[in-house]
Structure formats: C-alpha cells, structure tokens
Structure 1
Amino acid sequence: MSGSNSGCEQRSETEHVYGWITDLCNKETRFLAMLELFERRSNIDNMGPLLWHSFGAVSGLLQEIVSIYPAISRYNELNGQQSHRICAAIGLFQTMASHPFVGIELTRCQFMCYLMPLLKMTSQTRAVEHVRLSVLGVICGLLKSDHPEIVGYFLGTELIPLLLRQLELGSSMSKVLCAFVLCRILEHEVGLKFASRRLARRLHLIHTLARVVHQLTLEPEPRVLKHVVRLYSRLADYPQNLELILKLLPAQIRNGYFCQEALPGYESASQELTDLNYKLTVKKDQGDIKQCQDPIILKFTRRLF
C-alpha cells in the first residue's frame, strides 16, 4: 500500500513539473512556474535537457530576460522584484548550461548574446549584483564542461573586457567568479593565445591584475588572490607576456607580503607565490624574455614607474 502511495506521489510531482514547464509559455503564470522549477532544480533528474526539449520553455525564459532591457538601458538599475524575476529565469538557464550536451547547444544558438548586456550594468546595488552573479553562474556552468568549442565561443564575445572590469570594480563575490572564469579560459591554449597575441590585450590584462593585487592589500580576499596568482603563472607560459609581467608585477607578489598572514581559503599561498617567482626567474634566465624595443611598452611602463 505504501509503495502504491509513493508511486502516486511521484506521478503527481512529475505532473506538477510538466505543468510548470508548460506555464513558462504564459506570461501570467511564468513567474510562479520559474520559482517552483528553480527551487526543485537539484531534485529533478535531467532538468536541463527537460527544459531544453520542452516546447516554448526556452522561448518563455528568453522573453523574461528581454523584457528587462528597457530598465537597464534607460536607468542602469533594477528594483528588487525585477531582479527576483530575472534571477529565477537565469537560474534555469544555469541548470541547462551545466549539462554537457545542452550547454554546447546553447552556445551554438548564441544565447549568451541575451545575457551579456546584463554584465554591462555598472550599478553596485544588491538587486543588480544578484543578476550579475547569476549570469556569471551560467558562464561557470558552461565552462565546467571544459569543451574547447565553448571557450572559443566566449573569445568571440565581449566577455574578457567585462570580466576585467568587474575584477577591478565589482563586489568580492563578483571578483571571485570573474577570476575563476578567466582562469578557466586561459587554461586552454586557444584562450592563452587569444589573450596574449595582441599588445593591447596583454597590457589590459596584466595591468588590471596589478591593480587588483594592490586592492587586495587593502581588502584581502584569498579566493581572488589564488586565481590572480594562477593567472600570472599561466600568462608566463606565453613568452610575449614575460616582459610585461616582470615590469608590472606588484612588489607584494615579489616580496612575500601575502605570506606574512594566514589566508583562510588559500593555505597554499606561500608555496604558489614562491613557485611563481621561481618560474619567472627561470624563464628570464633561460632567455625567454628579450630586451624591450617596443616604444609603446616603453612609454607605458615609464609612466607607471
């Protein structure tokens, strides 16, 4: 009898899930449906593929995101209710993005074009920050699959400049996620070459990292520092970056400043900082770096020092 009741409850729950997915097509019922599905996303098997293959579900979620554009383009701001609605929609996209097959299909559909404008908001209010973190969560979900095609897709967007802006100006959690995403992109050879090939990109990236390190001396955030150190180490694998890294590397990285205090969340700080400095020294001694002859770099670094 109990087994029969359990089966009835399971069928009832399944029917509710299908009903909520159907409700995504209707503007009047969409918000409640998004909340119900978002709250149960970890308990429903294959939620990502289920949403992706359901008629009208993705379209309804995209309509929810597009409806917020007038507010962000006119006021660069969202109220709490708007933020709550759009975060629920983005959260369901994150569920789809975290699935290996669906994530690739989403990128092939260029769906990030709908989310990228949300990263351009400069307001630092809580409502906007929740939206920003939700979008970064989708990006992290896509990169979790470690698929080269997804990395290549992001290189063709404005993502890296937007990440660098948030890495310098965003909240603590935004900086953590942005630094993580940059690490994931540069782990791939195509990502490292893209970021390092042009002088303007190298200057932007390495100079931003230096400013972030200076900020961390005032407001320590071990999780950001961990990713920044790993970014420096990865960038040093590309010979053209060595010159700029050595010229712009902050003294706090060289002199062990961050090793003087316990850093919860980054217990390996001392070892990784030592390894980074050793790596830079060895590469310099091996002749991976040549004397600077580029007048643009010379002018830029003279202005800084």
Structure 2
Amino acid sequence: MNAPNSVIDQRMEAERIYGWITDLCSSEGRLVAMLELSERRSQVESLGHLLWHSFGAVAGLLQEIMSIYPSVLTNVLSYQESQRICAAIGLFQAMASDRCIALQLIRCEFMSYLMPMLRLTPQTRSVEHVRLSVLGVVCGLLKSDHKEVVTYFLGTDLMPHVLHNLELGSSMSKVLCAFALFRILENEVGLSFVGNTMARKMHLIHTLARVVHQLTLEMEPRVLKHVVRSYFRLADHPQCLVLILKHLPPQLRNGYFCKEKLPGYENANMELAKLSCKLANKEAQIYKGKE
C-alpha cells in the first residue's frame, strides 16, 4: 500500500530542506539555499537545531556575513547585498531562538560578527532591513533568559545602539529596542549595570522621557508597553527610583495613555495603575525613612 500523499509530501520537503542546508557549504548554491530556508523558518521548528549541528552550515553563513564587511566600512549597502545578508542573519535568528544554542552562540562570540552592522547610519530601506535583522537576533538571544547572555551584551556597545534607535529609529526598530532594553533591565545584572553610574542612569531616564513624549505625537503601543515595564523595573533600584520620581513624564501619571483596549497593549490601564501605585508606595517609604 502506498503511503498517503501527505506523508510523501513531508518526506520530499524534508529532503529539500536537508539539500538546502548542504548547499550552504557551497558559494554557488548558498543564496538560493538561504532564501528558501529563510522562508521556512516559521514552518520548521527544528531548523535552528538542524543548522547548528549540520557540518559546514554555520561556517558557510559566517562567510556570507563577513563578505559584507567592505560595504559596512564604506557605510553603503545595495538592495542585493541587503537581501543576501538578511537571509543569512535570519537563519542565525532561527538558531538564536533555541535556548541551548543561544548560549553556545554567545560563548563562541558570534555576535561580534553582527554588531558592526548596527553602526550603519544611512536610513535607507536596505540598511534598515539589516538593522532589524540584527536586532531580531539580539532579541532572540535575550529571550533565552540567560544571565550570561545579558552579561555579554553589557560588555558590547549594544546599549548605546538600543537607546539611540529607541529614540531616533524607525517604528519597528523602536519596538525591538524597547523589548531588548526591558529584557536587559529584567535581569539583575542589567539593572545593576544601569544603576552603577550616574551617567548611565541619567542617559536612560532622559531617553525614556523623550520616548514617552514622542508616543504622545505618534503612538506605538508595543513601544509604550516595554517603556512602562522598564520604568516599573527601574523603580526596584533605589538610585534609579529617585530619578524616576523626579523625571517621570506626567503622561504616565495622569491617565493620558489609559485608553480602552489599546491595540497591542490591552493591559495598558492595569500596568500604568500598577506603576503609579508602586511609585507612590516607594515614595512613601522614602519619606517615612527620613522622619
């Protein structure tokens, strides 16, 4: 009896995927392989594992990333280069989404290959696609909740890039950077790092205040969500708390953002209320301690 068509189709698709992974080792077939595999990232849950454990696949993707460095140095990126490098980075994002592989990527200093791409300054579509792809890998790694991942990023220039793009980047860049910032602050190492010096605290608090002001002009609920949660987390640090009480934007206290079921941030009312309550309690404790 012949196998059902669905089983045959699955087997053929699996063989195609294995073939494309093999083609990553070849400079001739790599582009098609990267594009085909990138399209299937959401469909093949084990793609990250397959790529990481396949002979030559990671090396081939790294060759692709390094080939773009001359364009990074000249700060100019063509559409074709952007398409090609984004396909390669997308496959690393599939690997970064796996918690175990994420730690391996950090330990082998993989992000040192991608971080230079965040220094690209043109606001062209080609550069923006690369920037978003790199930030996607960063966010994927931070989702792993490893202290080691956060510690690694604190030793790079990620934080300045995150704060810059959170304020001046495109809408999607702001969303990714707001998420990355919150994940860093959520970890005790990240919170301590930010609260360690006055310059870092002031830079962060003032940047968040400017972002809140921007959100009154052009709302992006996903950014607001992570900004509110970042404030909530920062309030756990005594020195940051003092600055928040002094510089918290009034829009976060007076109900400006409290709209019914804000799309993308349906819990806005509840979380803003929790933030106000937490700050009020902390402020009361400070005054009580002074008496």
Question: Which range, TM-score by smaller chain?
Answer: over 0.9
Name 1:120's counterpart in structure 2.
119
Letter in 1 for 2:41: R
Alignment of 1:1-305 (within 5 A): 1-3=1-3, 9-74=9-74, 76-259=75-258, 263-287=262-286
Deviates more, 1:134-143 or 1:268-277: 268-277
Once residues 16 and 195 of structure 1 are traced to their aligned partners in structure 2, the CA distance between those partners, rounded to angstroms, is: 47
Deviates more, 1:207-216 or 1:64-73: 64-73
Once residues 56 and 200 of structure 2 are traced to their aligned partners in structure 1, the CA distance between those partners, rounded to angstroms, is: 40
Once residues 223 and 50 of structure 2 are traced to their aligned partners in structure 1, the CA distance between those partners, rounded to angstroms, is: 35
Letter in 1 for 2:48: G
Output the TM-score relative to the length of structure 2: 0.92
Q: Any conservation in 2 of the 1:239–1:289 contact (CA below 8 Å)? A: no
| Structure 2 unaligned regions, length at least 5 | none
Letter in 2 for 1:153: Y
Deviation (angstroms), 1:88: 0.5
Deviation (angstroms), 1:252: 1.8
Deviates more, 1:55-64 or 1:256-265: 256-265
Deviation (angstroms), 1:62: 1.0
Once residues 20 and 208 of structure 2 are traced to their aligned partners in structure 1, the CA distance between those partners, rounded to angstroms, is: 45
Once residues 93 and 205 of structure 1 are traced to their aligned partners in structure 2, the CA distance between those partners, rounded to angstroms, is: 29
Letter in 2 for 1:135: V
Output the TM-score relative to the length of structure 1: 0.88
Q: Deviation digits for residues 35-74 of structure 1, max 9, x if unmatched?
A: 1111223333521121112222111111111111111221
- Matched position secondary structure for 2:222: helix
| Structure 1 unaligned regions, length at least 5 | 292-305
Q: Deviation digits for residues 184-217 of structure 1, max 9, x if unmatched?
A: 1111111111111111111111111011011111
Q: Any conservation in 2 of the 1:239–1:288 contact (CA below 8 Å)? A: no
Cα distance change of structure 1 residues 225 and 4 upon mapping to structure 2, 3 Å threshold:
closer
Once residues 77 and 211 of structure 1 are traced to their aligned partners in structure 2, the CA distance between those partners, rounded to angstroms, is: 30
Once residues 14 and 279 of structure 2 are traced to their aligned partners in structure 1, the CA distance between those partners, rounded to angstroms, is: 57
Cα distance change of structure 1 residues 276 and 38 upon mapping to structure 2, 3 Å threshold:
same
Once residues 102 and 33 of structure 2 are traced to their aligned partners in structure 1, the CA distance between those partners, rounded to angstroms, is: 22
Once residues 230 and 94 of structure 2 are traced to their aligned partners in structure 1, the CA distance between those partners, rounded to angstroms, is: 28
Letter in 2 for 1:245: I
Once residues 231 and 289 of structure 1 are traced to their aligned partners in structure 2, the CA distance between those partners, rounded to angstroms, is: 26
- Matched position secondary structure for 1:157: coil
Once residues 268 and 230 of structure 2 are traced to their aligned partners in structure 1, the CA distance between those partners, rounded to angstroms, is: 14
- Matched position secondary structure for 1:28: coil
- Matched position secondary structure for 1:3: coil
Cα distance change of structure 1 residues 58 and 255 upon mapping to structure 2, 3 Å threshold:
same
The total of aligned residue pairs comes to: 290
Cα-Cα RMSD: 2.1
Between the two proteins, what is the percent identity of the paired residues?
Answer: 67
Q: Any conservation in 2 of the 1:49–1:96 contact (CA below 8 Å)? A: yes
